[in-house]
A and B are shown apart, each in its own frame.
Chain A
Amino acid sequence: MQGGIKLRKIGVFVCWCGSNIAATVDVEQVVQEANKMSGVAYAADYQYMCSEIGQNMMKDAILKHNLDRVVIAACSPRMHEGTFRRAAEESGINPYLVEIANIREQCSWVHKDKKAGTEKAIALTRAAVAKVTLNTELIPGEIDVVKKALIIGGGIAGIQAALDIADAGYKVDIVEKTPSIGGRMAQLDKTFPTLDCSACILTPKMVDAARHPNITLHTYSEVEKISGYVGNFNVSIKKKARYVDMDKCTGCRICTEKCPSKKAKSEFEEGLKNRGAVYIPFAQAVPNVPVIDTDECIKLKTGKCGLCEKLCPSGAIDFNQKDEMITEEYGAIVVASGYDIIDLDKFGEYQYDHPDVITSLEFERITNAAGPTNGKFVRPSDGEKPKKVVFVQCVGSRDKTERGKSYCSKICCMYTAKHSMLIKEKYPDIEAYVFYIDVRTPGKNFDEFQRRAVEKYGVQYIKGMVGKIFPEGKKLMVHGVDTMSGETLVIDADMVVLAAATKAKSDAVDLKRKLNISTDINNFFTEAHPKLRPVETASAGIYLAGACQGPKDIPETVAQSSAAAAKVIGLLNKSKLVNNPCVSAVDESLCSGCLACTEMCPYDAISFKNIEIDDHGQKIKKVVADVNEALCHGCGGCTVTCRPGAIDLKGFTNKQILAEVDAICR
């Protein structure tokens, strides 16, 4: 029919979803009512519309009854909108002529009364039918993809993802805040459950990352600003001034040895050792180039000294260096920014201010052969070997009060078993006690690992918590309880190791704002779906890897990094990306050229253009708004800002939403 309004032939398919919908909604009644709705040519029901049989049934009905648009009354569109759109497309219907009425999550699952639930399901179906009547065919546009990935964070998560992406043939940049890549894993002594030397398995990967022709490291750098969208991210990176010329430096370390300012606490050594103002964080640092700390450097603060500059055989020290800002384009971003452990200031009962009460990370540094005590297990207070060591698990974890974190930090049970075994291996005469609430060892070979500590090494595991630690002379009196035997006990310990809870890094919120992704209440980044999409975020093109998404150990981190890398490779592999066609469009005859929409748009997707129109024979030049469809994300804010109502959002037009309102309020 040319010119006139084509009569709609809408097909309505109502799903039982087994008994998920059918138990509280009378599906057959919905079908009956649907048949009476204006524009509906065919209505049917089936147990599982999303199954192959269900989809085939829909496709057959479309062909048999010449349906031109479809309404599915089933589960949430967030579940299966894509499924049904694809099925419709296979039957020759434009995928945007499909609407979903959510009668499961928002109806059958929340209402017990069958009559009320059925009535609501009918209303929601009516709204979907009213909307789809006004749907128009939409064709998605295409976006180019920049074949380069950005990884924020240079720990094992970032390094693994970078190696995978680079091996696949794509260029990768790693941006790392600290002077060297390596992250937490570089600080560890041995890793569970294999008791591999952490540095020995990490450093080859660090060197690979540095040497790989496709990987560029930006260490001592931070991401400043991110704009753009998937396939075309525009990122500004601030490369902080090292005050050392990276091309000239040979890594000889004369400067770090001779630096007179030795008051700064080494972050890598968890504050157990001092470092100079000019320093390399650890021996195997990559890049092997020092950095000058502006707050500690005498020359940068007062103008005096400059000893390192004088002594440097390659003349690499350059006090005139400035921070550098660079901008790069990327197709995909992986966030691998890592974790911290909590501050223990709210846990006064554990006496963390006492030098012999240490956290698990400090313990790793002490037992590490390259650490502050050269691997000798001694008390920080007097350097003597301890006879009794007490480990306290769950310090701040599984804590619902404001003091701690409600979640389980996942790694502590395993690393405490590891710590106790490392001590017993080197010093069998030391007594080791572990106070725990539960022992959680779910991974491969994990439980056998922990039982070895108890059965082979004689580590005393006590199911109970520590109440308070009282320093008494050289000893630390640990007051605890063994809940299994029902006895309170006190141990005269020489050292106490606290398994402090893991927490998200303090700049996670800052980073999330720059990326426009979400974090949960604990400031860990939120994945798109906790079960089925653990490495993606809700924002296309941005992926997550490692402990920044939630507490996890190294095997899981590596698995997640490779998964994120796989997603990135899949994205960068495409020659073009198909974009969301639900974008804004301007009716130039109505547009007054006020450009209020351009101010509102969060993506700066609207600009203006000059056009010439024919107004009753007169040629008039006017300014109208112009939407960049590649940038438009389809939020629809401009449509409300528009005074004459000239701009509308395809897929969610004003008429469509008003039709839904009318249908619901009937």
Chain B
Amino acid sequence: MKKMKITPDKYENELLQIKKISSEMVNDCMQCGKCTAGCPATLEMDLLPHQIIRYLQLGQFHKVIESKTIWSCASCFTCAARCPRGVDLAKLMEAIRLISLRKKGNNRLNVEDVSQLMTDQKMPQQAIVSALRKYSK
């Protein structure tokens, strides 16, 4: 495992953007892990919720934006409700998702793939519609 380089300026813009969108202070987190302990969606995650915020604290934005975690987050707000420091992690996740989606050419869901999704009997149509609204430009 390579040694991580801590370069605070490298992702300064992205981190500032996260702060602007979510209005949450990443440094408020004391890494207690209560968010991860209560999160119902950790099965599908590669990085755990508290690790996401740790990487943000260390300025490692690239690790966060490439993770599966931010897309597995169900926005159930259990983490936000229980955090002893009052950090709304769900809002932070949304901010990271938005930054990813706003990048040029980032269509997470293409219109062509919708027909494939509709073959899944269990997939609610509402989910497809809202996903299309959110995930494609």
Known pairs A481-B48, A481-B50, A488-B42; A463 contacts B84 (CB<8 A)? no
Q: Which of B32, B35, B48, B82 contacts A437, CB < 8 Å?
A: B32
Q: Are B51 and A486 in contact (CB under 8 A)?
A: yes
B90: shortest Cβ distance to chain A, in Å? 15
Chain B contacts of A399 at CB under 8 A? 84-85
Query: Is there a chain A Cβ closer than 8 Å to B8's Cβ?
Result: no
Chain A contacts of B28 at CB under 8 A? 400
Q: Which of A460-485 contact B (CB under 8 A)?
A: 463-468, 479-483
Query: Is there a chain B Cβ closer than 8 Å to A401's Cβ?
Result: yes
Query: Is there a chain A Cβ closer than 8 Å to B37's Cβ?
Result: yes
Bound-state Cα–Cα, A482 to B48, Å = 11
Q: Which of A326-349 contact B (CB under 8 A)?
A: 349
Known pairs A464-B32, A483-B50, A488-B48; A400 contacts B37 (CB<8 A)? no
Q: Which of A479-538 contact B (CB under 8 A)?
A: 479-483, 486, 488
Bound-state Cα–Cα, A403 to B51, Å = 25
B133: shortest Cβ distance to chain A, in Å? 32
Q: Which residue of A lies closest to B83 (CB)?
A: A401
Chain B contacts of A466 at CB under 8 A? 34, 37
Bound-state Cα–Cα, A316 to B37, Å = 58
Query: Is there a chain B Cβ closer than 8 Å to A398's Cβ?
Result: yes
Q: Are A349 and B38 in contact (CB under 8 A)?
A: yes
Q: Which of B16-67 contact A (CB under 8 A)?
A: 28, 30-39, 42, 48, 50-51
Contact with B along A401-443 (1 / 0, CB 8 A): 1011000000000000000000000000000000001000000
Query: Is there a chain B Cβ closer than 8 Å to A357's Cβ?
Result: no
Chain A contacts of B78 at CB under 8 A? 467
Q: Are A437 and B36 in contact (CB under 8 A)?
A: no
Bound-state Cα–Cα, A437 to B50, Å = 13
Q: Which of A398, A437, A468, A482 contacts B38, CB < 8 Å?
A: A468
Chain B's interface size range is: 20 to 34
Bound-state Cα–Cα, A468 to B84, Å = 14
Contact with A along B76-118 (1 / 0, CB 8 A): 0010001111100000000000000000000000000000000
Query: Is there a chain B Cβ closer than 8 Å to A649's Cβ?
Result: no
Bound-state Cα–Cα, A137 to B35, Å = 66
Q: Which residue of B lies closest to A398 (CB)?
A: B84
Bound-state Cα–Cα, A528 to B27, Å = 33
Q: Which of A394, A480, A482 contacts B84, CB < 8 Å?
A: A394
Bound-state Cα–Cα, A394 to B48, Å = 21
A655: shortest Cβ distance to chain B, in Å? 52
Chain B contacts of A488 at CB under 8 A? 36-37, 39, 42, 48
Q: Are B86 and A465 in contact (CB under 8 A)?
A: no
Known pairs A481-B50, A488-B48; A467 contacts B84 (CB<8 A)? no
Q: Are A401 and B86 in contact (CB under 8 A)?
A: yes
Known pairs A481-B50, A483-B50, A488-B48; A398 contacts B30 (CB<8 A)? yes
Q: Are B48 and A486 in contact (CB under 8 A)?
A: yes
Q: Are B83 and A467 in contact (CB under 8 A)?
A: no
Q: Are B48 and A465 in contact (CB under 8 A)?
A: no
B29: shortest Cβ distance to chain A, in Å? 11
Bound-state Cα–Cα, A398 to B82, Å = 13
Q: Which of B32, B42, B51 contacts A465, CB < 8 Å?
A: B32
Q: Are B84 and A464 in contact (CB under 8 A)?
A: no
Chain A contacts of B30 at CB under 8 A? 398, 437
Q: Which of B33, B38, B39, B84 contacts A483, CB < 8 Å?
A: B33
Known pairs A481-B48, A488-B42; A467 contacts B36 (CB<8 A)? yes
A401-B84, A467-B35, A467-B39 provided; 10 other pairs, C-beta below 8 A?
A: A394-B84, A400-B84, A464-B33, A464-B36, A465-B37, A467-B78, A480-B33, A481-B36, A482-B33, A488-B36
Residues of B near any A CB (own CB < 8 A): 28, 30-39, 42, 48, 50-51, 78, 82-86
A-B contact pairs, 15 of them (CB 8 A): A394-B32, A398-B30, A400-B85, A401-B84, A401-B86, A404-B84, A437-B31, A464-B36, A467-B34, A467-B78, A481-B48, A483-B32, A483-B36, A488-B36, A488-B37
